[in-house]
Chain A
Amino acid sequence: MNYFRTFTKGLIKENPVLVMLLGTCPTLAVTTLAMNGLGMGAATTFVLVCSNVVISLLKNFIPKQVRLPSFIVIIAGFVTFVSFMLRSNFPELYEALGVFLSLITVNCIILGRAEMFASKNNVRASFLDGLGMGLGFTLALILIGAIREVLGSGTFFGLSIGDWFQPIGFFSSPAGGFFVFGCVIALVNVLSNYKMSSKKIGCASCPNASACGQAEKGEIAE
C-alpha cells in the first residue's frame, strides 16, 4: 500500500472537484470569497479525515443492512461537531457558510471516500486518503474562490486590489459560479492534455457505486 501515492493522488491526479466532479454543491455555493473557500475546505477536510478513520475502524462491525445509515450518522456527528467549533470561534465564517456547513454531510466526496476507500482499507491509508482528498478539495475551492472574489468584488482575501478595477457583479452571482467552474475545468483539461477528461462520470465516480446493485450497468447513470 504505497502511502505516499494514496496521499498525493487526491491532490492533482484524482482531485475530487476538478477531475472526479464530486462535491460540486459547496464548490459553487461558498466560493464567492476565497476565505469562505478556505473555511469550507478546512471544515470538510476535518470531517473527511475523522470519518474516514472512524469508518475504517468500524468497518467489520457494521452489518450490510445498516451500512449506509451508520456511515451517515457518523459523518453527520462530525459535521455537527465542526459547526459547534465554527460557531464559537469563527462566527462570521459560520454565518458565511450558512446552510452549506450542515450540507457537508451529504457532500459526495465524504460519503464517496467512506464507501469506496475507508470501508475497504486500513486506518492509516484511510487517514492519508482523507487528508489528500480534503486538501485537493480545499485547493480547488481556494482557486475558484480567489478567481470569483477578485473579479466579483475586487478584493483578494479581503484586501482590495485597488480602486482602478470596477468589480463585475456577475462573478459573485450563482451564474458566475457555474461559469468560473466550467472555465477552470476546461483549463484542467488543457493542462492535463485531455487525459483526465476521458474519465466517464458514470458509476465509477458515484459515491454509492459499491452499495448500489445497479453499479455495473454503467451507462444508466452516464
Chain B
Amino acid sequence: MYKEIIKPTLVLIIISVLVGTLLAVTYNVAGIADLATAGLSQADLEELKPSVMPAASSLKNAKVSVEDGSLLGVYADEGGSGTAIHIVTKGYGGDLKILVGVDTNGAVTGAAVTESAETPNLGSKVGEPAFIEQFVGKSGALAVDKDGGEIAAVAGATISSRAFTDGINKALEIYEQVKGEL
C-alpha cells in the first residue's frame, strides 16, 4: 500500500510545492509583479512622445476605472495638453498595439505603433509617419477611402490600414469615456 500509493504522492507533492514556493519567492522578491503591470515603461513613453504628442511635457500612467478588452493603458500629460491611450486591435498578421495621442477637445495629436505582427515592409507601413499624419487633427469616426472615409489606405495593405483606423476610433471612443476621470 505504502510503496504504490503514498510514496509517489508524497514525492510529487514535495517536488511541486518546492518548485511552486521557490517561484513565488523569486517572483515577489525580485519584484517582477510591478514590472508586469506597468505596460509601457517610462523610457518607452519618452521615446514615443514626439510622434504621439509633441506638445506634451511628460506622460504619466493614469489609473482609470474603464474596463475594455482592447485598452492596455492610459497616460495623461502633466502639462494638461491631452492624453495618450494605448489600445490593441486585430491586424492582418495578429495583434496591432497603437499608442494614440488625443488633445483636450478630442482630436488626434499623433500615434505610434508599439507592437505589430503585420507582414514586413507591406502591412508594417501603417507605422510610418506618411500614413499616420493623415489622422492628426481629426476626430469622430474615421474610415479608409475604400469604406468611404478620407484616410488613404497603404497600397496593398487594406486590412492593416483598416485595422489601424479602427484602432484610432477605439482610442477616441475610450477617451470620451475616460475624459471625466482625468
**A residues in contact with B41, CB < 8 Å:** 91
Could you tell me if B120 and A169 are in contact, using CB atoms closer than 8 angstroms? yes
How long is the Cα–Cα vector from A162 to B121 in the complex, in angstroms? 16
Chain B residues whose C-beta falls within 8 Å of the C-beta of A87 in the assembled complex: 32, 35-36
Residues of B within 8 A of A91 (CB): 41
- Chain A 77-107 near chain B by CB (<8 Å), digits 1 or 0: 1001100100110010001000000000000
Task: Using known A-B contacts A61-B11, A87-B32, A88-B30, determine if residue A74 contacts B120 with beta carbons closer than 8 Å.
Answer: no
* Interfacial chain B residues near A95, Cβ < 8 Å: 115
Q: How far is the CB of B40 from chain A (nearest CB, A)?
A: 11
* Residues of chain B in range 45-87 having any CB-CB distance to chain A below 8 Å: none
Whether the Cβ atoms of A167 and B120 lie closer than 8 Å is: yes
Q: Are B4 and A153 within 8 A (Cβ)?
A: no
Q: From A153, which residue of chain B is reached at the shortest CB distance? A: B120
B16 touches A152 (CB 8 A): no
Complex contact B120–A73 (CB within 8 A)? no
Q: Say yes or no: is B182 at the interface (Cβ < 8 Å to chain A).
A: no
Instruction: Indicate if the CB atoms of B120 and A152 lie closer than 8 Å.
Output: yes
Contact A169 B119 (CB under 8 A): yes
**B7 interface residue (CB < 8 Å to A):** yes
Q: Report whether B119 and A88 are in contact in the complex, using a CB–CB cutoff of 8 Å.
A: no
A63 interface hit (Cβ, 8 Å) = yes
For B, the interface residue count at a CB cutoff of 8 angstroms equals 25
A74 CA / B22 CA spacing, docked (Å): 11
Q: Known contacts A69-B12, A70-B11; decide if A77 and B122 are in contact (CB<8 Å).
A: no
Contact indicator A73/B23 (Cβ below 8 Å): no
CB pair B121 A169 closer than 8 Å: yes
Task: List the A side residues contacting B9 at CB < 8 Å.
Answer: 66
Q: Is the CB of B120 within 8 A of A84?
A: no
Whether B137 is near chain A, meaning CB under 8 Å from some CB there, is: no
CB under 8 Å from chain A, chain B span 1-48: 3-4, 7-9, 11-12, 15-16, 19-20, 22-23, 26-27, 30, 32, 35-36, 41
A65 contacts B8, CB within 8 Å? yes
A179: shortest Cβ distance to chain B, in Å? 16
Min C-beta distance of A98 to chain B, whole Å: 10
* Distance, CA A172 to CA B123, complexed state (A): 14
Contact A80 B23 (CB under 8 A): yes
**A66-B12, A70-B12, A74-B15 in contact; A169/B122 too (CB < 8 A)?**
yes
Q: Using Cβ atoms and an 8 Å threshold, which residues of chain B touch A76? A: 19
Contact across chains for A66 and B11 when beta carbons are under 8 A apart: yes
In contact, B30 and A84 (Cβ under 8 angstroms)? yes
CB distance from B39 to the nearest CB of A (A): 11
- Given contacts A73-B19, A81-B23, whether A63 and B7 have CB atoms under 8 Å apart is yes
Q: CA of A73 to CA of B21 in the docked complex: distance in angstroms?
A: 12
What's the Cα separation between A80 and B36 when bound, in Å?
A: 14
Known: A77-B22, A84-B30. A173 touches B119 (CB 8 A): yes
Chain B contacts of A186 at CB under 8 A?
none
Given contacts A84-B26, A95-B115, contact A62 B120 (CB under 8 A): no
Which chain B residues have a beta carbon within 8 Å of chain A's beta carbons? 3-4, 7-9, 11-12, 15-16, 19-20, 22-23, 26-27, 30, 32, 35-36, 41, 115, 119-122
20 sample A-B contacts, Cβ–Cβ < 8 Å, listed by A number? A61-B11, A62-B11, A63-B3, A66-B8, A66-B11, A66-B12, A73-B16, A74-B19, A81-B26, A84-B26, A84-B32, A87-B36, A88-B30, A152-B120, A153-B120, A167-B121, A169-B119, A169-B120, A169-B122, A172-B120
